[in-house]
Amino acid sequence: MDITSLLRENIRQMAPYSTARDEYEGDLGIYLDANENPFDNGFNRYPDPHNKRIRAKVSAMRGIPAEQIFVGGNGSDEPIDLLFRVFCEPRQDEALSIAPSYGMYRVAAATNDIRLTEVPLDADFRLSADALLAHATPRTKLLFLCSPNNPSGNLLDPEEVEKTIRNFGGIVVLDEAYIDFADHEGFLPHLSEFPNLVVLQTLSKAWGMAGIRIGFAFAGPEIVAAMERIKYPYSVNVITERLVLRELEREAIRREQIATLIDQRRKLVAALEQIPLIRRVFPSDANFVLVKVDEPRKIYNHLIERGIIVRDRSRIAGCEGCLRLTVGTPEENAALIDALQNPDQPFDRSTLPVGGGERCVTVTRKSRETDISVTLDLDNAAPSQISTGLGFFDHMLDQIVHHGKFSLRLTATGDLQVDEHHTIEDTALVLGEAFRLALGDKRGIGRYGFALPMDESRALVLLDFGGRIATRWDVELKRERIGDVPTEMFEHFFDSFAQAARCNLHIAARGRNEHHMIEGVFKAFARALRMAVERQTLDFDLPSSKGLL
């Protein structure tokens, strides 16, 4: 197949936008060519327009020559749009896709004024190459397949995919955004066998880089060169390039996360199959599951009420009555299952997490002595909702929220009729565990913290989230109680927190007013926490010279 014969004539003839640096090799030089600000701030220079470092890294990882790799600046969406512009004459040429499938194929076709014919998969979302190819015309230049397919989640039969590629006279675009979650290597290792094949992959899914928007098109050199010819210059910015190169070094972590998500998918499917309102759970090779229910919008709204956002796909042909559920963390999946198992149970919205960001966790602990629930969000400040049954203790916990700029919902019911000990100790343990879980792998955090004077008193808190556990309490209190809290429990609170959070914690305070001393300790503790958990801008390294925490 002569691929160049499929290119639009104007694309074949046009000269690409070029820069003086296209002719320059090396990192050092006096750059007086691009009218940049010459004062270095880390971002004053334009990025490499050809993404050579990223391509070299991906080439080494995937075993694909760099000249067969196109780097897309907006996930896989940029390559999808560019392929229409490279191969399809507006209002003349046509394209094919399976249905239901990723909606961006339709959007890109409409944007480029190309007629897109969507050919339905069968009732089980299986592909028939013959049925699909029967809709091709002499003007059909592009054919889109998504495997594993979105929103159905299933891997398309590789034999049918290969039959489609071999028998189509245009370009087959195989979108493998979810291939890392399937028990199949995909078609990238066989790219050299099919000159008319373009494989799309993204870093948004398995690699966890949806927020920085980058993806790849793998194809023959002629196709990649044509896409490079018409893409916008510098479509991948300097910050994205740095983050991508750093994250690509963490393949071992990615493999662990994928294994966890696949295991969670299995458990989620097993649980969903036991829920009465779920009529069908479709097989999935992706990081999501499609389910059929009787009243999809009602269930969707019920989940929204629970603070759980899923995707309502019930209006798409072939997905009538279906919701798409992304596989989350074990805690998120448990919340989803609970909500689906109890669709008519009244729900208290005040128990919803505040913020719900990446570092937001809920931890519960129930024993014969206490029943405690903590929802902590490290990155969203909000008024606290704290109730332990001990007024002064609540006041001190509120200082952690206010001065640490966290959001915290904490409820503790304990055997206060016996003693305050269990309530205070278990609250510290649950709160410490919440911080440990919210910090995750601790990449990019400050790690250390310290703080501050309080009126005539002074309090010093030294904290290290390095993983070692040690506490030192240098606070002399002569009163038996402050408020309704026994003074001996303050040291025990911080020691229990350090044990659960796995941190070093050194606390010292001096002063005349013991109320001020303890309040100073809690405020200093909050400030130390804020410093230690704060993420450093664009820093995703572990804060350790050992490379291990």
Task: Look at strands 94-99 and 140-146 and give their pairing.
Answer: parallel
Asked if 186 contacts 148 with a C-beta cutoff of 8 angstroms, the reply is no
- The reported pLDDT for the residue numbered 452 is 55
9 burial class (0-12, 13-18, 19+ CB within 10 angstroms)?
exposed
Distances (CA, A) of 65 to 189, 191, 244, 246: 12, 11, 19, 21
- The reported pLDDT for the residue numbered 355 is 45
544 CB-side CA count, 13 A: 13
What are the phi and psi torsion angles at 116 (to 5°)? -115, 125
**pTM exceeds 0.85, yes or no:** no
- The reported pLDDT for the residue numbered 354 is 45
Residue 358: which of 430, 417, 444 has the closest Cα? Answer: 444
Q: Does residue 201 sit in helix, strand or coil?
A: strand
CA–CA gap between residue 7 and residue 477 (Å, rounded): 82
Asked if 230 contacts 86 with a C-beta cutoff of 8 angstroms, the reply is yes
At position 448, the amino acid (one-letter code) is Y
Chain Cα centroid distance, residue 347:
27
To 10 degrees, what angle do helices 488-501 and 514-533 make?
10
238 CB-side CA count, 13 A: 7
| Number of helices followed by number of strands (H, E) in the chain | 15, 22
pLDDT of the chain, 549 residues: tens digit per residue: 789 899 999 998 888 888 777 777 666 678 888 899 999 888 898 998 899 999 999 999 999 999 999 999 888 999 999 999 999 999 999 999 999 999 999 999 999 999 999 999 999 999 999 999 999 999 999 999 999 999 999 999 999 999 999 999 999 999 999 999 999 999 999 999 999 999 999 999 999 889 889 999 999 999 999 999 999 989 999 989 988 998 898 888 899 999 999 999 999 999 999 999 999 999 999 999 999 999 999 999 999 988 899 999 999 999 999 999 999 988 889 989 999 998 877 665 544 444 455 788 889 999 999 999 999 999 888 888 999 999 999 999 999 999 999 999 999 999 999 999 999 999 999 999 999 999 987 878 888 887 655 556 688 999 999 888 999 999 999 999 999 999 999 999 999 999 999 999 999 999 889 999 999 999 999 999 999 999 876 565 667 766 666
- Cα pseudo-dihedral 16, 18, 23, 28, rounded to 10: -140
Look-up: residue for tokens 């410093």? 531
Task: Look at strands 385-387 and 69-76 and give their pairing.
Answer: unpaired
Q: Using a CB cutoff of 8 Å and minimum separation of 24, what contacts does 471-476 make?
A: 471/495, 471/498, 471/504, 471/505, 471/506, 471/507, 472/505, 472/506, 472/507, 472/508, 473/507, 474/506, 474/507, 474/508, 474/509, 475/507, 475/508, 475/509, 475/517, 475/518, 475/521
Residue 519: which of 403, 430, 399, 349 has the closest Cα? Answer: 399
- Cβ within 8 Å of residue 304, ≥6 positions away: none
Asked if 71 contacts 213 with a C-beta cutoff of 8 angstroms, the reply is no
- Cβ within 8 Å of residue 207, ≥6 positions away: 247, 254
CA–CA gap between residue 85 and residue 77 (Å, rounded): 13
As given in the structure block, the two tokens for residue 326 are 């992304």
